[in-house]
A and B are shown apart, each in its own frame.
Chain A
Amino acid sequence: MYKVASVFKYRYMETLLSKIDPRVKILVSVLYVFPAILFSNMVQLTPILIPIIINLKAGKVLTKYLKSLLYLSPFLILITLLNYLTMGNIISALIPILRLIILIGALDIFFFTTDPDDFILTMESLKLPLSISLSFALALRFIPAMIEQINEIVEAQLSRGLQLDKGNFITRIKNYIPIIIPLVILSIKRSIEVAESLEIRGVHPKATRTKYIELRIKRRDLAYLVINTAIVIIYIILFLLL
Chain B
Amino acid sequence: MGIEFKGVYYRYPETNTDVLRNIWLEIGEGEAVAILGDNGAGKTTLIKHMNGLLKPSKGDVYVDGVNTREVEVSTLARKVALVFQYPEKMFFSETVYDEVSFALKNFGFEKSLIPRIVEKTLKTFWLWEYRDRSPYTLSGGEQRRLALASILSWDPKYIVLDEPTAGQDAIQREILTHLINRKIGEGKTVILVSHDVEFIAEFSPRTILLKDGEIIFDGEADDLFRRKDLLTKSGLEQPTLYQLSDRLGLIKTDERVTLELLVEYIKKVIQCTK
Main secondary structure of the interface of A (DSSP, over half): helix
Number of residues on chain B facing chain A (CB within 8 A): 27
Q: Counting CB contacts under 8 A, is B157 at the interface? A: no
CB-defined contacts of B14 to chain A, threshold 8 Å = 6
A159–B92 CB distance below 8 A: no
Residue of A nearest to B153 (CB): A160
Q: Please judge, given known A-B contacts A153-B89, A178-B92, whether A160 and B136 are in contact too, CB under 8 Å.
A: no
* Bound Cα distance from A155 to B73, whole angstroms: 10
Q: A177-B92, A182-B91 are in contact. Are A159 and B51 (CB under 8 A)?
A: yes
Contact with A along B35-46 (1 / 0, CB 8 A): 000000000000
With A156-B84, A156-B87, A185-B136 known to touch, is A161 a contact of B103 (CB < 8 Å)? yes
With A178-B102, A185-B136 as contacts: A159 and B81 at CB distance below 8 Å: yes
Given A155-B53, A185-B136: A160 in contact with B91 (beta carbons within 8 A): no
Whether A155 pairs with B77 at a CB distance below 8 angstroms is no
A163 in contact (CB, < 8 A): yes
A77 to B165, CA, bound (A): 50
A197 within 8 A of B: no
Which residue in chain A gives the minimum CB-CB distance to B75? Answer: A161
- Does B106 belong to the interface (CB within 8 Å)? yes
A161 and B106 form a contact (CB under 8 A): yes
Select which of B13, B72, B77 is within 8 A of A159 by beta carbon: B77
Q: Can you list 29 A-B contacts with CB-CB less than 8 angstroms, sorted by A residue number?
A: A3-B13, A153-B89, A153-B90, A155-B48, A156-B84, A156-B87, A156-B90, A158-B73, A158-B74, A158-B77, A159-B83, A159-B151, A160-B90, A160-B150, A160-B151, A161-B74, A161-B107, A161-B154, A163-B72, A163-B74, A163-B106, A177-B92, A178-B90, A178-B92, A181-B92, A182-B91, A185-B91, A185-B136, A186-B89
A positions within 8 Å CB-CB of B? 3, 6, 152-153, 155-163, 177-178, 181-182, 185-186
